Structure 1
Amino acid sequence: MVKISTLRPYCPNNPIEFTTNPYDVIGKEEEEELKHNNNSLIHLILPDGEGDELYHNALSAYERFKESYIIVREEYPCIFVYRQESGEFNQEGLIMGVALDDYEKSNIVKHEYTREKPLKDRTRHIESTNVAAGLVWSVFRADIEIKKLITQIKKGKPKYDFEKYGYHHILWQETDSTIINKLANLFENKKIYIADGHHRAASAAEYRKHQLKNGNKTEKPDAPWQYLLSYVASDDQIRILPYNRVIRKLRDDEDNFIEKLEKVFEVRKVNKAFNPERKNTIAICIRGKWFELIAKDKTFNSKRDSLDVAILQDKVLEPILGILNVRADDNIFFVGGVQDPTIMEKYITDKGNDIFFNLFPVDIRDLESIADSGGVMPPKSTWFDPKLLSGLVLHDLREE
């Protein structure tokens, strides 16, 4: 169901110096530190300036990187295997092009809505620079034949092999048309699911629409702008961590709040910080005191409604705390990627917030099921970890 393609990308001469985390997880402090390095991708993905100047500076950075040979174009069309290793978790997948026509046909399946402001920003960015610098992370249902081909590619000498952000990053390049064609044939029968990067995917689709509107009709099916820069991994090769919620102020009496919770959950006092051990169980820290919330009603109208993040939204945040829009309400913020509950507790005891909701992670099968049914998950339901480096591969969208 999905058409894949080789890329002829730009790649960095010094990946340790050039690559960064994805733009949307880089905090202000990290951004400022990265900008001390003139050879960092940060100047392209998060340039200085406002309005038109910002996008002009992004283009200037991209042109400077090419002119200074900070990035160099690959001589031959290729795909890549990208692997990340740590002492506790390893993951790997393919970096390649995936046809945006399949995105429009829903063979590339979404599970969350995009927001207007970030979509406009990323679309303006890609139209100004004509380059995709961040990977759209997608998954497919595990396939032994694809795994065999990935293993075969990994027998070659890596293009990159380095340490960064606590992970060992390895990139293998493959130009052999026989292997690539075998992969292409296998993916013809695959549906893929966007895990992370919905705004990057949507902005690439907008760029393609503009190209088609401006006269570049579909007789150019292999033009670079027809393909999405993608990292595509088997669904047994990913780790989802909880995307937790913090409430700044409880605008209610604490005992009254717990009474309201008891109408929906079995509420049990716990003597120390803890992580929930199963689905439909939420750990909550209220002003330093921990409780276990076990959903009383386990009959759900949909798979989406069975997610703990949805139960929290539908049964607590909206009706009890009055938080109707989690993206816009200043009384809530999100913490992703933290696994140690004692660190979570410090958001209350040390940072002056009132409530920490510690959720059980979403299962990838639930994500796939919701996406297959055309459903949409609540905002910020999943934190995929580790994050993929941006800047290993830059996909220039202009025709050669």
Structure 2
Amino acid sequence: MAKIHPFKAIRPTRDKVNLVASRSYQSYTSFERDSRMDYNPYSFLHIVNPGYKYHKEISGEERYKLVRNRYLEFKEDEIFMQEDSPCYYVYKIVNREQESFCGIIAAASTEDYHNDVIKKHEDTLQDRESTFKEYLKTVGFNAEPVLLTYPDNDSISKIISETVGARAEYEFTTTNRDTHYLWKIEDQKSISEIQDAFSSIKTVYIADGHHRSASSYLLSQDLKENNPEHNGNEAYNFFMSYLIPESDLKIYEFNRLVKDLNGLSKEEFLIKLDEWFRIENRGPEVYRPSKPHHFSMYIDDEFYSLYLRKTTYEFTDALEELDAQILYKTVLKPILGIEDLRTDTRIEYSHGKNGIVKVKSDVDNGEYKVGFGLFPASVEQVKKIADEGLKMPPKSTYIEPKLRSGITIYEF
């Protein structure tokens, strides 16, 4: 049963939250990062990019220590404040397309992660796990929640609905036209009801944040070994999460772009595809797949539809039914010679929010020879793969909502 606890967040004062909040560090170009830090002294980017102050790229342990210093300075300058008592936080995002996401920010258990109460659908890289664990150990906080999803629950939905009827603690709109809201849940009755409701949920699923979850678990084990008075309730036994109901989760596909045809002519390539797919030339008109196991392909100014020949391809488990896996097993690996989807420089990915037109544009400009459009996976597919203990290929899903960093911070 899921252990989902309230916690005493460190968070920006109400007047500065819109200035502090930032996207994840990796989502900015270096020019965008510098521009924001040039004109906004309150941006959370100053904390996670401490070398900016010294006009120098800093990495490793030196960077981690400076991140810690910048964070403490934000606290000393009262840009951040800390909650007096443990709370849950209802967090709502309404994006520019008027899609709404609403859930609860809370502390999830590293033990639940280890015991598969919190289930995974992606592999993690050991080097990244260890690196981020050392980062967390030095800085002592986490500012970007892991995105978890749970089966829709009437009790939790009722409390959320009642909470959002009051004035929000935070309400601000970002430059990309997403509006963010945050409410505190601090009365003990509601806190107990939420905790009880989650304790009745057998399984929750990681939607986004597999490496952060894994690193938090490794950190908890390190700190446990060095604490002779460990009792399991220490803050390091939990990690900050944003839990949203499955009905609120939005999954987009990741389309594939490949730089060459692995030495094949276009005609030879199409003949090899014919073993696995029924192929139709759709001409220059943009074509998008409309259901699972159908793909679009763009090459030499023309779109093609690829319909999987189910008499040839065998569905043996949930992973084998995933379109990203089908494309890998039938095209990318055997025909185009792409073995490792993480490291091969001949393949690139474009998430579905960019649209199939982005794939067309990247092929037209000569950077890539062929592009493939996929149909997005469903929540049910993701859950089934996790339930069977399987792992998706890299870049199988692009999941929203994407959260801002620095709005709530979890210390351990």
| Alignment TM-score, normalising by the size of structure 1 | 0.95
Shift of 1:27: 3.7
The answer for the alignment partner of 1:279 in structure 2 is 292
1:46 shift after superposition: 4.4
Give the alignment partner of residue 290 of structure 1, picking from 293, 303, 307: 303
Q: Aligned ranges for residues 22-101 of structure 1 at < 5 Å?
A: 22-36=24-38, 37-48=40-51, 49-86=58-95, 87-101=97-111
Q: Does 1:102 align with 2:115?
A: no
Confirm whether residue 150 of structure 1 aligns to residue 160 of structure 2: yes
Aligned partner of 1:316 in structure 2 is 331
Could you tell me whether the CA contact under 8 Å between 2:341 and 2:393 is conserved in 1?
no
1:230 matched to which residue of 2? 241
Quick check: 203-212 or 283-292, which moved more? 283-292
Q: Quickly say closer, same or farther: Cα 1:34–1:118, change in 2 above 3 A.
A: farther
Please tell me whether the aligned partners of residues 2 and 117 of structure 2 are also in contact (alpha carbons under 8 angstroms): yes
Cα distance in structure 2, aligned partners of 1:279 and 1:47: 45
* RMSD, aligned CA: 1.6
* Paired residues of 1:338 and 1:344 also in contact (CA < 8 A): no
CA distance in 2, matches of 1:27, 1:287: 31
Question: Quick one: structure 1 residues 287 and 44, their matched pair in 2 at CA, closer, same or farther if it must change by over 3 Å?
Answer: farther
SS of match in other structure, 2:353: coil
Q: TM-score, normalised by structure 2?
A: 0.92
Residues 330 and 47 of structure 1: CA distance in aligned 2, closer, same or farther (over 3 Å) = farther
Distance 1:264 1:369 in 2: 25
Return structure 1 stretches of 4+ with deviation > 4 angstroms. none
Q: Measure, in 1, the Cα distance between the counterparts of 2:380 and 2:398.
A: 15
- Hey, what's the Cα distance between the residues in 2 that align with 1:375 and 1:362? 15
In the TM superposition, 1:12-27 aligns within 5 A as: 12-13=12-13, 14-27=16-29
1:148-168 deviation per Cα after TM superposition (whole angstroms, max 9, x unaligned): 111122122211111113211
Contact 1:241 1:339 in 2 (8 A): no
| 1:340 Cα deviation from its structure 2 partner | 3.0
2:9 maps to 9
Pick from 155, 177, 183: which aligns with 1:172? 183
Aligned-pair identity (%): 26
Contact preservation (8 Å) 2:252, 2:399: yes
Q: CA deviation at 1:28?
A: 3.5
CA offset digits 1:312-364 (Å, max 9, x no partner): 11111111111110110111111124343223211111352111111100101
Residue correspondences, number? 396
Whole-Å separation in 2 of the counterparts to 1:179 and 1:100: 24
More displaced, 83-92 or 201-210? 83-92
Q: After alignment, is 279-288 or 131-140 more displaced?
A: 279-288
Q: Find the aligned partners of 2:62 and 2:317 in 1 and give their Cα distance.
A: 46
1:205 to 195, 217, 220: 217
**C-alpha spacing 1:23/1:71, structure 2 compared with 1 (3 Å):** same
Partner of 1:371: 386
Where 2:393 maps in the other structure, the secondary structure is coil
Q: Residue 240 of structure 1: which of 251, 258, 277 is its match?
A: 251
Q: Secondary structure at the match of 2:253?
A: strand
Structure 2 contact 147–207 (Cα < 8 Å) conserved: yes
Q: Could you tell me which amino acid in structure 2 is paired with residue 253 of structure 1?
A: S
Deviates more, 1:249-258 or 1:167-176: 249-258
Unaligned segments of structure 2, at least 5 residues: 52-57
Q: Deviations over 1:29-51 (max 9, x none)?
A: 43333332332212333443023
